[in-house]
Amino acid sequence: MSLIVKNINLTYPDGDGAVVHAVRDASLHVEAGRTVALTGPSGCGKSSLLAVAGALIRPDAGSIKIAGQELAGLRDEELAKVRRERIGLVFQNDNLIPGLTAEEQLLLAVHVAGRRPSRHRKQAHELLSAVGLDGAFDRKPGQLSGGMRQRVNIARALINGPEVLLIDEPTSALDSTRGAAIVELLINLARERNIASLLVSHDLETLSDVDGILHMLDGSIVDETHSGHAFSALGAAV
């Protein structure tokens, strides 16, 4: 259940016929159960590459495979199905619905995926407990701290059993202690649930336990640091 991104190129129009090269020939491979961080300065293409990997944006060229399934060439409705069933997305802002409890946030995601929420209430409780929210099932976002809201956000991304987890700056609104706890939680969940996890972050201090770090600059992956064989930026594993 790995994530393989190969030779991705992405451009945006910039007026008067000019284009911005957001991603340039980027490749990476994240194995199941591993967490790889993607870092770099603001505007370097991290979030654009994450959006391509999550089937939110179609690249100009390149290949994205999730557990062996090639996403290039899929119709829009097929890509939407992949996003619902195979990809978990954790955005920088938690985007929780103010009037819904923590439990209801998860069950709404189940409903959107076309399944019956009543059959997944136990699973929702188990996930909320797994992210450290046991006893907070009935609390609404206004009754939760920033770190707790981000934990609901993570549980919601996992409720449909994704094979790939894509995370965009999960610690940006948290202090260093809470940020480190969130990254540790994400790493542990990826290992326990055998999920390939790609984490965009500028906070290098929280990344000491990830399985690998990719550095981006001007749309390209320019450097890598890794532990064991968790991933490859351009190597034979891709």
134: CATH: 3.40.50.300
In a domain, 238, yes or no: no
In a domain, 226, yes or no: yes
In a domain, 92, yes or no: yes
In a domain, 13, yes or no: yes
In a domain, 168, yes or no: yes
Q: How far apart are CA 49 and CA 22, in angstroms?
A: 8
- Please tell me whether the overall predicted TM-score, pTM, comes out greater than 0.85 for this model: yes
User: How many distinct structural domains can be found in the chain?
Assistant: 1
In a domain, 175, yes or no: yes
Amino acid 226: pLDDT: 62
Q: Is the pLDDT of residue 134 over 80?
A: yes
Structural domain boundaries, residue 200: 3-232
Structure-token match 């994704």, residue found: 162
In a domain, 101, yes or no: yes
Q: What is the pLDDT of residues 188-237, one digit of tens each?
A: 999 999 999 999 998 888 898 999 999 999 999 998 776 544 444 443 33
Nearest to 36 by CA among 200, 184, 169, 182: 200
In a domain, 237, yes or no: no
Q: How far apart are CA 85 and CA 63, in angstroms?
A: 19
Q: How far apart are CA 66 and CA 30, in angstroms?
A: 10
